[in-house]
Structure formats: C-alpha cells, structure tokens
Structure 1
Amino acid sequence: MSQIVKNYYDDGAEQEWERLSDPYNQVEWMSTLRLMDRYLPDAGHICDIGSGPGRYAMELLQQGYRVTLFDLSANELNIARKNIEELGLQAEAYICEDARNLRVLGAEAYDGALVLGPLYHVLEEAERLEMVKQVHRILKPEGTAIFSYINSWGCLKAGVTEFSETFRDPERIYDYLQEQRFDELRGFTEAYFSVPHRALEEVKRGGFEVISCAGAESFLAGMRTEVTRLYREDRQVYENLVQAASEMSEAPQYREATEHFLIAARKSSI
C-alpha cells in the first residue's frame, strides 16, 4: 500500500477502532462474525491480515484461537496490543508490514486467514492476485480464508443517500456498474472498488475453491440513515433487523448489492 494509505490508517487509528460500533456498521460486524463462525476451522492458528486495531482478532482469541495480527499501521497494532492485553489475552505476533509482502510469513503456517481490508487499497490487479496467491501459500492444506472487497454496485446504492451530489454528472452513476480505482475519495483514501464476479474470479485464480459469498450489509445495504434512526428510536426493531440481516447475508437476492462483498474460500491445489 502507498504512504497515503499508511498515513490514513495511522492518523485514523482510533476512529477505525470505533468504526464497527456505529449502528449501521454493526450489520457488517455481525455478518462477518457469522461467516467466521461458519467457515473458519474450529481451532488453530489464524492470521488476521489487515487486522487494524484488532476487533476480529480479539473475538478469535476469546474463542481460544491462536492469532497473528498483520497490519500496515503501527498505530493500529498498538491499539490492538493494548486492548488484547487488557483482556488478559496474548497474540502470537504483531507484524507491521504491507500486505503485499506476505512473503515474510511461513508457508503452510496457518489454519485460516482473514483478509478484511487490504484488497480495498491495492490498485493493480497483478498485485492483488499475488496477495491472494500468498494467502494460499501460508495456509495449511484445506485451510480457509475470508476475503473482503469493496463492491462498486453496493456503493452506488449507498451513494444515493451518502454522496448523491456526485451524481450531478450522470456518467458517474454508470461508473459504479464496473470496477473503479480512486487516487483518493472524500472521507477515504486510495481505493479499489471491485464487482462481485471479478472478485470471485480473482480469488479462484489465486488457487482457492469458493465455499460461499456474502454481502456484509445484507438487505440493509444503503440504509445508513434509516438504520441509525431505528437504533435511536426503536432499539428492538433495530436489533431484530440487524440479526436478520446477518443471517441472510449469504442470500443471493441481497449479497451482490452491498458495500462489502465477502468470500469464504478453501485452499486448493493451484
């Protein structure tokens, strides 16, 4: 990742810790936890690549997994270490490194991997494919990984309420029907937006058998304002919807039109 991306996460480390506590982002959190529970191995060593401040790593450690955290941002890893140690837990390692350099990790060293973020920021296809191949290399036979991509189709839906002024140029609407690369976005940094079929192709080309895929925001995708209102005004309805959305995140009628597209995959022979 570029220095721009590194600076973004170093400067926003605390904000990234808080991000998944946001009422709307809780849908992504719950859906991802559900996929982890369903598709990661029941025990073993997990490499959390793009761990950020360690929210998912903490969940895994509390369940008895061994966990290595791997992230570009030293500030995020420091937050992760602090919060993990406050729980009386211990990670296997904290590795501050660019996810394009997974060669520093041993071959067939991990039972499972999370890749929930790095692929958002790798603009070049060859580099993304190499990253997926390196995830394949570090996994034990039959190891599983969960990959996350930003989905341009879902961002179009979200954009209606979150950045509608962009669409004063009608061509920008149609741009969201395909892959996109951004040097920088309002409120975000350098980014690559995929589309579901391209993301699936990339993971398969990297040597993986796709087990399942999901849309993290499920049927609530693009409804940030309304979901937040329900959180404030009718907590029971909010909780019911978030629970149902996480349970339906793999349903084909919802999964391809969400902001985050998740792929559960198993290592196969290339």
Structure 2
Amino acid sequence: MSQIVRDYYDSHAEQEWYRLNDPYSQVEWLSTLRLMDRYLPDSGHICDIGCGPGRYAIELLQRRYQVTLFDLSAKELSLAEERIGELGLQAEAYICEDARNLQVLDAEIYDGVLLLGPLYHVQDRQERINIIRNAFRVLKPGGIAMFSYLNSWGVLKAGVTEFSDSYRDPEHIYMYLQEQALDENQGFTECYFSIPARALEEIELGGFDVVSYAGAESFLAGMRAEVTRHYNEDRQVYDHLVQAASETSEAPQYRDATEHLLIIAQKKPESEQERA
C-alpha cells in the first residue's frame, strides 16, 4: 500500500480505535464478532492482518486465542500494544509491515486469519490475489480466513443520505454499480471498492473454498442517520434493530448491498485437497 495510506492510518490511529463505538458502526462490529464466533476454530493461533488499533485482536485474546498483530501503520500497532498491555493481555507478536509482504510469515502456522481492511486499499487486482494466496499459505490445512471488502453497491446506497450532492451528476450514481479505484481526493484515502461477485472470485482464485459471506450492516445498510436517531431517542428500538441486523448479516436478501462485505473461507484439509 502507498505512503498515502500509511500516513492516513498513522494520523487517524485514535479515531480508528473509537470508530467502532459509533452507533452505526456497532452493526458492523457485532456482525463481525458473530461471524468470528460462528466460523473461527474454538482455539489456536490467529493472525490479524490489518489489525489497526487492535479492537478485534483484543476480543480474540480475551477468548484465549494466541494472536499475532500485523499492520501497515506503526502508530496503529503501537496503540494496539498499549491497549492490550493495559488490559493485562499478551499477544504473540506485533509485526509492522505491508500486507503485500506476507511472505515474512512462515507457512501453515495459523489456525485462523483475519484480513479485515487491507483489501480496501489494494487497487491492483493481482496484488489482491497475491495477498489472498499468502493468507492461504500461512494457514494450516482446515484453517479459516475472514476477508473484508468495501462494497461499491453498499456505498451507492449509503451515498443517498451521506453524500447525495455528488449525485447531481448521474454518472456518480452509475459508477457505483461496478468496482472502482479512488484516489485520496475521491475517497477517504486511496481505496478500492469491489462488488460481491468480483470479491468472491478473488477469494477462490486465492485457493480458498468460500464457506459463506455476509453484509456487515445487513438491512440497516445506508441508514446511518436513522440508526443514530434511534440510538439517541429510543435505545430499546436501537438495540433490537442492531441485534437483528447482526443475526441476519448472511441473509441473501441483504448481504449484497452493504458497505462492508465479509467473506468466510477455508483452506481445505489435506485429505480433501488430495481428493480434489
């Protein structure tokens, strides 16, 4: 990833720590935790690639997993180490490196891999596939990986309330019907928006079997203002909506049109690889 992306996360480390506390982002948070609980192995070694300030890594450590944190941003990684230490937890390792350089990790040493962010910023398709193949390489046979993509279709929907002025140009509407790469002047930093079929294809080209996929925001996608209003005005309604959304994130009628696409994939056990 470019220096632009590194600088963005270095300067937004604290903001990234608090981002998932936002009433709307809580939907993404709870959906992701639910998928982790459902699909990750019950124990073992997890590599959190693109760990940011360590929010998910902390959850895993509290569940007694052994966790390696891997991130592009030295500031994010330092904050993660600080917060983990404050909680009396201990990670296996902290690695400051670009996700395109996963070859620094040994093969077949992890029971699970999280890749919940780096693919947002890799604009070259072959580089994304190489990252996925390296995630496959570092997993033990039978291991589970969780990948996250920014979904252009979900961003289109969110834009109706969040940046509708840009839709004065109808081309800005139709461009979200396909994958696209944006520079730092068009997006929050350099970023890549995929679409579901393309993302699923890349995971399979990386060697994985897709187990399931989800839309993190489920039926609440694009409703930031309304979700936040319920949070402020009627916490019971808010809690019920967020709970239901997290429980239905894998539902086909919702998952293709959310901002964050979550793909759960498996490296086949060796016996199945031989039969294939």
Fold shared by both chains (TM-score > 0.5): yes
Aligned ranges for residues 108-119 of structure 1 at < 5 Å?
Answer: 108-119=108-119
Q: Deviations over 1:144-192 (max 9, x none)?
A: 0000000000000000000111111101111000000001245610000
Change in Cα spacing, 1:152 to 1:142, as seen in structure 2 (3 Å) is same
Output the CA distance in 2 between the equivalents of 1:6 and 1:160: 29
Cα shift readout 1:209-236 (whole Å, capped 9, x = no counterpart):
0000000000000000000010000001
Q: Tell me the distance in 2 between the aligned counterparts of 1:50 and 1:267.
A: 20
Cross-structure match for 1:213: 213
Structure 1 runs of 4+ off > 2 angstroms?
Answer: none
SS in 1 for 2:177: coil
CA distance in 2, matches of 1:256, 1:174: 16
The aligned residue for residue 41 of structure 2 is: 41
Residue type of the partner of 2:232?
A: R
SS at match of 2:80: helix
Q: CA–CA distance in 2 between the matches of 1:122 and 1:21?
A: 26
Separation in structure 2 between the aligned mates of residue 183 and residue 126 of structure 1, nearest angstrom: 19
Partner SS, residue 94 of structure 2: strand
- Shift of residue 62, structure 1, vs aligned partner: 0.2
Cross-structure match for 2:169: 169
Q: Distance in 2 between matches of 1:187 and 1:11?
A: 16
Amino acid at match of 2:267: K
Give the number of aligned pairs. Answer: 270
TM-score normalised according to structure 2 size:
0.97
User: Alignment identity in percent?
Assistant: 72
The amino acid of 1:249's aligned partner reads S
Stretches of structure 1 lacking an aligned partner (at least 5 in a row): none
Residue 62 of structure 1 corresponds to 62
Query: More displaced, 226-235 or 182-191?
Result: 182-191
Quote the RMSD (CA, aligned, Å): 0.9
Q: Which moved more, 1:220-229 or 1:177-186?
A: 177-186
Q: TM-score, normalised by structure 1?
A: 0.99
Partner residue, 1:189: 189
